[in-house]
Amino acid sequence: MFQKDELVKVVFDQILVKIRNAYEEGNPGMSGDITNQNVSFHAHTSKSQHSHLQMADIENYTMEGLLQHFAILGYVNPQQVNNRKLSVRLVIEDRYLPQDEFWDDRAAGKSAQVSGLQSSLPHKSSAVLSLRKRKVVEEEGEDLGSNGGSEGSIHRSGSLLVRKSAFRPRILYARDVILQTFTFTKVAYDQGTRKFTHEHNQKEIMLSPDWRQDLEQGMHRNRDSAFLGSGYSKNAFYARFGGKEFAFVQCKPQFSEDENSKFLHAEFENLADAHLLAEEFKDELRKIGLQFPNFYFNYDDAFLGVLEPEFYEQLSEIANYKEFLATPLLPCSEADPQIAKYTGNDDVGEAPKDRLTSLMHAYMHYTYVMTKKTLLICDLQGTFNKDKVLCLIDPQSHRLAIHTTCSCSSVQCPDFSNDDNSNERVYWDGGRLKMVAYIKHHTEDENGCEQNLFCKALQLLDVKVV
């Protein structure tokens, strides 16, 4: 049962997770594909009829709003409205479920029997759930059909009362956490000159004061947690800027202020280079008429910032350092797919088993070839956005040489030498030797480059760049 003011996105995520967890009990290790990426929601009107629900249109609704939405579209009858009941069908393609010999009908039935939900036995490709909500009354003995003096247009369809309101749903944020506002200035990056410069206009960003507690708890997929996740050297926390949601990234506390800035600048440079090369790579594939799974890097709207000194003094509970990297927030609830990795830092990884991984391997090869063997973008990983397009995050690189200068007063970014053993290199950058070993692993593997549809189409083994 659900309260009338609960948000549809939150409720549907809860249902999906409960089904996945129940399914996992009967089919261990086989529930990983039951995520928002692969599941669609439908209004269930009968055993043979259902209508697809566009989550972008309804996710900000309350459950009360969804019930009225169903009533207006004829998805529920007057009796269902009076009983405060609506039915939703979850559909997942067969390819995301185990094959018949592994299919456990008992577990399948149990997977839909979620606590507080009434359900029918699911088909292999779908599950039907009835979402029951508590009957809500304004006063004892007064049903929801009473006007109660509220404003808005009302019309009846038989015994069904439907209200149409001018109210618009509130913005649904991915995280529901306490936030405080702090002032910062942006650090601009010129990709042509590879220079970072401070801007002077002050801006405001909203951060959570509870991040340390949330970090310790480690519940990075919970809606009430400001902690988003950790990597080898960095932590990411929830933030808002300009009404949009971001991941607020800084190094872990064992680094110095200068090291934090150095790593963040290098990471932003990676993002910029990876984005530029990805757009060129996709254009080349389009020119030859080869279809491919779309993808992009989380670069647009990403920015570097420096918290203002007077505010930074108040940030002992907010941030480890003054400088930060902010990238647009991607779906990160428990119902969403986790980060998938397509290539590593040391080598490209195992031979691709699907078209998307093949594409990522070819993109890596393309970056090496088209930069005249001076740059190789690696450690490709990401997840899918709300439009189900792959977004790659936090790429790394091996470079022949990096010539980065920085006019930021807070840190001096040295020129990186061409010495593969240079201490000035960022920890992930293995230089020329690593590039050579990396590309060799890809090109000499019998199931690697020569078997890669995209590498062959672009003739990456033979192309000459001038």
Helices of type H across 245-344: 257-287, 309-312
Is residue 462 a part of any domain in this protein? Answer: no
Q: Answer yes or no: do 267 and 407 share one domain.
A: yes
d(CA 302, CA 325): 7
What's the pLDDT at 212? Answer: 84
Residue type, 37: Q
Q: Which of 50-54, 190-194, 284-288 ranks highest by mean pLDDT?
A: 284-288
> Which pLDDT score, from 0 to 100, does residue 292 have?
96
Do 154 and 189 lie in a common domain?
no
| 313 — pLDDT class (breaks 50, 70, 90) | low
User: Which is it for strands 323-328 and 375-378: parallel, antiparallel or unpaired?
Assistant: unpaired
Is 138 a domain residue? yes
Sheet holding 390-393, edge to edge: 295-297, 390-393, 381-384, 340-341
- Looking at the fold, whether 132 and 265 belong to one and the same domain comes out as no
160 and 197 share one domain = no
**Residue 210 and residue 331 share a domain:** yes
- Helix/strand/coil for 101: helix
* Domain harbouring 227, CATH code: 3.20.200.10
Q: Are 203 and 241 in contact (CB under 8 A)?
A: yes
Span 294-298, average pLDDT: 98
With 0-12 / 13-18 / 19 or more C-beta atoms within 10 angstroms meaning exposed / middle / buried, residue 193 is exposed
In a domain, 126, yes or no: yes
Residue 155 and residue 198 in one domain: no
Same domain? 154 vs 255: no
Is 240 a member of any domain?
A: yes
The average confidence (pLDDT) of the chain is: 81
- Write the DSSP assignment of 214-258 as a string of letters: HHHHT-TT-TT-SEEEE-SSEEEEEEEETTEEEEEEEE-TTS-HH
More confident position, 125 or 38: 38
Same domain, 205 and 79: no
pLDDT at 218: 86
Last residue of a domain, one of 135, 164, 193: 164
Query: How many structural domains are present in the chain?
Result: 2
Q: 463 lies in a domain? A: no
Same domain, 280 and 326: yes
3-state helix, strand, coil in the chain (%, to 5): 30, 25, 45
Domain boundary among 164, 191, 213: 164
Which of 111, 134, 164 terminates a domain? The answer is 164
DSSP state of 291: -
Residue 80 CA from chain centroid, whole number: 36
Residue at 174 is within a domain: no
Asked if the model's pLDDT at residue 65 lies above 80, the reply is: yes
pLDDT-derived band at 211 (thresholds 50, 70, 90) equals: confident
Residue 114 belongs to some domain of the structure? yes
What percentage of the chain carries pLDDT values higher than 90? 53
Task: Find the domain containing 34 and state its range.
Answer: 8-164
- Does 172 map to a domain? no
Question: Do residues 234 and 159 share a domain?
Answer: no
Residues 154, 205, single domain; the answer is no
Identify whether residues 185 and 44 lie together within a single domain: no
Mean pLDDT (whole number) for 394-420: 56
